Each structure stands twice: as structure tokens, then as C-alpha cells.
Amino acid sequence: MKTWKTGEEGEKTGIEKLVENFTAGADVGYDQCLAEYDIYGSIAHVHALEKLDLVTSPEAKKLRNGLRKLLEKDISLDAGDEDIHSKVENEITDALGELGKKLHTARSRNDQVLVDIRLFTKAELFRIVRELLSLVESLLYFGSSQSDTPMVGFTHYRKAMPSSVGLWAGSYAEALLDDLTLLEANLELIDQSPLGAGAGYGIPVNLDRELTAETLGFSRVQNNAIYVMNSRGKFEFNLLSAVASVQLDLSRLASDLISFSDKEFNFFEIPEKFTTGSSIMPQKKNPDVLELVRGRSASFPGHLSSLFSLLHGLRSGYSRDLQETKKSLIVGLGDTGDSLAVLAPLVSGLGVNEEELMDAFSGEVFATDRVFELVKDGLPFREAYRRVKNNLDSQVEEVSEDQIRGSISSRNHPGGPGNLGLGEKKNLLERSKEKWAERESRFVDCLRELRKPEGSSEKYEDQKPKAGNNE
């Protein structure tokens, strides 16, 4: 039964079913991902009701323990439930009778869904960061193990200058560490509790918003009640913009690996367990995993465009349009976590064909080196450039290993192939792992405390939020 209706609901007419399916149909699938978090938010809210004497301490205890029992149930929704908030309230009312009807006192489904989304998003963000740091670790250690392995560098899809496998791998590790800075800024945004803003205009009781924020593991309260409503969708847009930056790097990494593992290059070998076969061609070992990583990143312009278009014309306050933001958020975060998770072990298992890498070097790759040899002899750069360019056809195509390695080692400025600086990035990685693990631990500890029965001194096993579900 819908919580905003009064009286008993009879058999629905055709129009009522049509409207119900239109307003709630697909959305209940995304609400399924929020079920756990809706219950956590309700447990915290009961603490605030108890402090205001809107429920007695015995009533509060019954409500919280009733909600905890729901955490152990497999809550499934259909269109008739309308949303997870109504489902949880109806479940607790069925279990506790009239007492269950007090659960929604002093809140709206508007601030309730925001709490659910914020908690879900934090859990997903922590998962994404864990997987991102794992991929960075794979790239750094792969790059370190191949730091001296020569590799031709390309521009415009053409051979350009001497480079190394270490420089290539390190470039993606550094890119992802920069993305981490964007994710950290977004954690700062979403780590604000919206509970207590009601439908955007406050609640006519002195609700202790700091109490519920602390109970749920938020770092602070989001202050202005109207802005709480206006931030829905905006925060999702900002986060998915940061996640889109991660996806750009993953897509380019996937494209590189698809190309460089092809027989035309044969620089790398993708581990066989990350390839698939053909139903008709027995020789095929297809890079489907990498193609899907690249393909799923292609959905992000759509996610961002959808969110921006939904938001830009809305007046302040809540509008039902905002319901449509859930899909982009849940799917976008889930796809990113999954792509990161599959790439880390793939990179760790990459094979390197050093002979093929060396054979790819040819005379023109050293054209810039020859320019600088003349410059070091005192010739102006533009004159040296002209002389080398005019004599390209006379250059010997065969090159020696000493020439290749000497060219790479000569590029010994910070960040060059002769001075990768991977040790510094490994140190940054370890600091980041420690910092983010501590943040996630605090979050998980708060949710674990909410699961404990009243007066319990039991030590529960760590149970991380159910992140990563984008079904």
C-alpha cells in the first residue's frame, strides 16, 4: 500500500495500474540497490525521534530492532510497492502494528531517498577507489619490472621516438592517481547528511541533524534545506564527471592493449583467461574484455548529458524528474567498478615480447636524436632540424640495441623514459591506500554499529556495504 494514501486500497483500475507502472515501474529495480541503506537511515532517524520524545525509549528499541530484522530479509520490490521507503515502512508496520506508523514522523521521502543515495554512493565510491588503487598497483609494478624494456613511442598512430614499456605503464598509473584527486573532491561533497531537510523546507520540530549525521558516518550536515533538494542530481553529475575521467583512461588503456597485443605489433600478450573464442573460427583469442571496457566507457557522455538535461531547466525544490537520475548513477558507478576490477589482474598477467619490441625500432625513430647531436655540436636547432629532415632517405634503417638503450637512457629528465620516478608514485600509492582504507573503515564501522541489536556487546564480522550491484 502507498504510504501517502489513506484508507484501504481496493482493486486497481486499468488507469491506476497504468499510472503505477509508469511512475514506479523501472525505478523499483534501482531502489532495490538502496534497500540496505534505507534501513540504516531509518535506524538513525529513530534515534532522533527518541531524543525528541516523539517515540519512547521502549518504542525506539522495538523500531530499531524491527528494522535490523529487515536487514536479514531479502526485500524485493514491485511496482505496487512504489519505492523502497514505502516498502520498508509497510514491512515494519506489518511487524509492529501501530508503532510502525510512527517511523515516518519528521521526515519526507525526499530527504529519505537522498540519504539512501548518499550512503549507496559512498559505498560504491569506496569500491571504485579500492579497484582503482589495485589497478594503479598493477601498472606500477608491471612498469617497474619492464622499466628498461624498450618500446617505440607513437604519435598520430605513426612511429615517433624511443620510449619504454615502463614509461607507457607509468603514464596510466599517474593518470589514475590524478583521477583519485577528483574522486576525493567528490567524497567531500557527498559526505554531507541531508536527513532532516524534509521536503526541502525543514521540519516543524527541532530535529537533531548532527546526531543522525554522526550516526550514519557523515562528516557533517548539509545545511540549507532547499539546497539539499537542489543538490540531488547535481552531486551525481559531479561524481559521474570525475568517474568519466577514470573511464577515459580505462578506454585508452584498453585500446592500447587491443592494438599492442595484435599480431601487427605483438608487443604484449593478453592472458588467455581474459580472452574469448569464436563459435566458427577455432584460432581466435579475442580481446572481448578490453573491448567491453572500452564500450562501457562510451555510455558516459550519455549519462552526463542525461543528468545535465534533467537538471538545467528545473525550478528549485523537488520535482519527480529527479527520479530519473538514479539509473545513470547506479549503472555508471557499477560499470566503472567492474571495469577497474577486471583490468587489474589482466595487467598483472600481461606477457611482454621483448624481441618484437626491439624489432619495431627503425632508423626514423632516431631522427630527433640526430637533430640534438648536431645541436650539441653548436648548430642552431632549426638548421639541424632542416638537415636531418632533408637527409631522412639516406638514414640506415637497421639500429643496434646499444643505440636503442642509449637513446632511452639519454632522456633522463624527471618523467622521461630514463628517469621514470616510479618509486615516488609507489609511495603515493601506499599513502593513498592507507588514507582511503581508513575512511572506508570508519564508514563500515558506523553501519556495523547500526546493525547491532540493542544492548549487544557482540563483535560482528566486518560486513562491507553491498556495493557493486548495478543490476
Is 312 designated active site? no
Catalytic residue among 57, 76, 278, 309: 278
State the Cα torsion 312-317-323-325 to the nearest 10°: 40
Per-residue cell: 31 = 531502489
Question: For the chain, what's the residue count?
Answer: 471
Give the CA diameter of the chain.
94
Catalytic residue among 156, 312, 394, 457: 156
Give backbone dihedrals phi and psi of 416, rounded to 5 degrees, phi first. -85, 170
Task: Assess contact for 258 and 287: CB atoms under 8 A.
Answer: yes
Long-range contacts of 293-298 (CB under 8 A, 24+ apart): 293/250, 293/251, 293/253, 293/254, 293/339, 293/342, 293/343, 294/250, 294/251, 294/254, 294/255, 294/258, 296/247, 296/335, 296/338, 296/339, 297/247, 297/248, 297/250, 297/251, 297/254, 297/339, 298/251
**DSSP letter for each residue of 143-198:** HHHTTT-EEEEEETTEEEEEEEHHHHHHHHHHHHHHHHHHHHHHHHHHSEE-TT-T
Q: In terms of DSSP bridges, do strands 150-155 and 158-164 run parallel, antiparallel, or are they unpaired?
A: antiparallel
Is 156 designated active site? yes
Per-residue cell: 315 = 525550478
Can you tell me which residue has the cell 506489518?
94
Q: Which residues are catalytic?
A: 156, 278
